[in-house]
Amino acid sequence: MAIRQDRVELKGSARAAMPGGQDKGPANPEEQIQVTIHLRRGSKPTEFAIDAKKTTGPLSKRTYLSREEFARTHGASEADRKEIRAFAAQFGLKVDREDPAARSVKLSGTVQAFSSAFGTDLRHYQHPSGTYRCRTGSLTIPATLESVVEGVFGLDNRPQAKAHFRLRNKAQAAAVSYSPVQVTEAYSYPTGVTGSGQCIAVIELGGGFNTSDLNAFFQNLGIPAPKVTAVSVDGATNSPTGSPNGPDGEVELDLEVAGSAAPGAQLAAYFAPNTDQGFIDAVTTAANDTNLKPSILSISWGGPETSWTEQARNSLSSACEDAATMGITVLVAAGDDGASDGVSGGALIVDFPASSPFVLACGGTSLQLSGTMIKSEQVWNDLSSNEGATGGGVSESFALPSFQSGAIVPKAPNGFVGRGVPDVSGDADPATGYDVVVDGKPSVIGGTSAVAPLWAGLFALINQSLGKNVGYINSLLYSAKEQASFHDITSGNNGGYSAGPGWDPCTGLGSPNGAALLAALKDS
């Protein structure tokens, strides 16, 4: 018998058909799937506004919530979770797990039951990359849940993001390459510290690492291999594919760069499916991990803002905001396809989650060294040879944040006064790339994927030096004193924007002088 109830559209849930996919008919109605319901915070919005907390003022006066305090104060309330339990029972869905801290409830059931519960038609789409369960249009929910539910993820399992790394091609064989240690030396990373006591989390949406590769890489550098823990999210595991061109290149690049920069830090790789559900669940799992307790979160995956539903953008960004409140610094690669972010038609589009105001977005440069010193550095742009360029531009989804009020951020293409991307930068050009080991073979890899873990390692060193987490660092980095600790990149463009003095939508504030940044933060 049909269930009678007043229903409303779930705000921001509208989804377009899968580009390049062909509708092959209805999904199997008896297929068992698991869905994540993302809930509102247990606190009032005015109580959570990040600027109202002691997380953006002088570093010496900052306080952050412990994970336990966050869960108790801002996690999903029992009343809201009770509403979801009742909703699930109405439609024959099983409650698999409730996670108040992550503000999520996992439900399982048949495609048919979920289609009824959320007023959608789940279909199979054939795409060159595989067959996926997809939906189009908006979801509906009972009116009583309108203010409770912020997002529903897992009904549609199409790929959401791509890894932002670039394997050097044969035509670039004559170019230079560096070990990650050479790059950290050029950027004057603090000495006398190793990142001990810190945990760097990396989000991985595919592939895996081989311990033998990590051992060989670090042995060659004369550095003890860091402790690496693989964490499974939504059933994904550390699963190397055996192909450096695949996601293994991303995973091992992240671990080898972060481990070189901060060899004393523990590394944790959170493996999740490459879906919007998997991405969000990986971030919330890492941020709320009371066992490994990451202080830094590095993300080298993303996609054009326009490829995300509004609910997915908002839920993932709010998860990064939650992390910031707990003193976790979130670094995100800005993308490797220039100012268009790889979208055909020439429109200027930024990558997400780099465009979230609660992360530090990392752009890319081309770095030339003379010994251990920087000889020259400019915007990474190999678009003329189809070898990528740093992402960067202005968000059409997130408003200009207060920390960028003093930067000269142009309006977005549609006239929106938006958040500028990136914030910072570092070596990313495959032609000046990183010597790494992937799937048993030496490789040279570039991309902004390398910059996020490079900066993650720097903050591990800084946190150890200061004896406290810098956490949400954006506002401090844009202050005049901290800006003086950057190498300002003033030459080059990313196919849509040009570099210039101060902040720009190609390389942000510039590449780091790590020792100078540490000194500036000590006085903050």
Residue type, 228: V
Alpha-carbon radius of gyration of the chain: 22
User: Which residues neighbour 484 within 8 Å (Cβ) at sequence distance 6 or greater?
Assistant: 516, 520
C-beta atoms surrounding 112 within 10 Å: 17
CA distance 170 to 162: 22
CA distance 6 to 207: 44
Return the sign of the alpha-carbon dihedral for residues 301, 309, 92, 84: positive
> Is 449 a known active-site residue?
yes
CA distance 204 to 218: 21
In angstroms, what CA-CA distances link 320 with 7, 121, 291, 401? 30, 31, 19, 15
Residue type, 307: S
Distance of CA 324 to the CA centre of its chain: 13
Q: Which residue shows structure tokens 């000269």?
A: 408
CB 165 within 8 A of CB 447: yes
Choose the catalytic residue: 99, 156, 254, 423. Answer: 254
User: Which residues neighbour 310 within 8 Å (Cβ) at sequence distance 6 or greater?
Assistant: 11, 12, 13, 14, 397
**Strand positions, DSSP E, 256-321:** 266-271, 296-299, 301-304
Helices vs strands, H then E, count in the chain = 13, 28
Q: With H, G, I as helix, E, B as strand and everything else as coil, classify residue 485.
A: coil
Choose the catalytic residue: 204, 250, 256, 321. Answer: 250
Interstrand relation of 228-232 and 296-299 (parallel, antiparallel or unpaired): unpaired
The alpha-helical segments, DSSP class H, found in 6-77 are 45-48, 67-74
Residue type, 352: F
- What's the first-to-final CA gap in the chain, in angstroms? 64
C-beta atoms surrounding 95 within 10 Å: 16
> Is 511 a known active-site residue?
no
Choose the catalytic residue: 138, 449, 485, 511. Answer: 449
Q: Which residue shows structure tokens 């202050």?
A: 479
> Is 250 a known active-site residue?
yes
Residue 311's H or E segment, with its range, is helix 310-325
Three-state secondary structure along 78-94? HHHHHHHHHHHHHCCCE
Residue type, 97: R
DSSP 522: H
Residue type, 67: R
Active site residues: 250, 254, 449
